[in-house]
Amino acid sequence: MQEYYYGGQYKGQTKVSFYVEDGVERIVIRWLSQNKHTKLSFVGPNGQSSIGFSTTKDSTLFEGGYLHRTTIDEPEAGKWSVQAKSPKEQYILNVTFQSPVNEHLMMNLEKEDNIQLSFSGNEHYVMQDNITATVAVEFLDVKNKIIKKLSITKSRDTNTLTIPNLGAGIYNVTINIKGETKNGQIYNRTILDSIYLGNQ
């Protein structure tokens, strides 16, 4: 688990925050949008603002879109944010972490009558009882028609989360995970997955 994603749209300006835990060797910040001239800056935990994004054409998510990218080595632990200015824009923020947490945070998925997700971590690196998860589900039936969207939150007092059986079809899930390292620093990660659940 090495990625964090956040997306949305705005007019004028917006600020999107994320956390960097202790021990991170490098982060790569990517801002994907349909605008080439978006004014971007990032602010670290010390409050200092910096610019320095490279821009390339990238139509992976937006037709005629652009990828704005920057790399930060040995980033300070704490809350970071990306500030963006543009008349109007849809965007996706992606942060890739080169961090020990990537190897020590785990999610297991089981399918039976429903979809069970369980979360765990190596207790030498992450606080197991502090892992929270929010899951956004988009259910498409066998005809590929969106039938239902729902959001489910896993509390700290359990390590499992259940996605109910909405019928046979594809369950597109976005899982946002938040927790703390053994040193009390917050981390964020995102898992994107498509799961097929058939008729029982």
Neighbours of 195 (CB within 10 A): 15
CATH topology of domain 3-98: Jelly Rolls (2.60.120)
The length of the chain is 200
Q: How far is CA 143 from CA 9, 155, 167, 170, 196, in A?
A: 29, 34, 12, 10, 13
Per-residue pLDDT of the chain (200 residues; tens, 9 = 90+): 899 999 999 999 999 999 999 999 999 999 999 999 999 999 999 998 888 899 999 877 778 899 999 999 999 999 999 999 999 999 999 999 999 999 999 999 999 889 999 998 888 889 988 889 999 999 998 887 878 899 998 877 788 899 999 999 999 999 999 999 999 999 999 999 999 998 75
Torsion sign (Cα): 173, 110, 113, 177: negative
Which class is 105-197 in CATH?
A: mainly beta
Structure tokens at 30: 């990517």
Query: Does residue 82 contact residue 154 with C-beta atoms inside 8 Å?
Result: no
Give the burial class of 193: count Cβ atoms within 10 A of its Cβ; 0-12 exposed, 13-18 middle, 19 or more buried.
middle
Q: How far is CA 199 from CA 102, 118, 135, 148, in A?
A: 34, 23, 23, 17
For the chain, domain boundaries: 3-98, 105-197
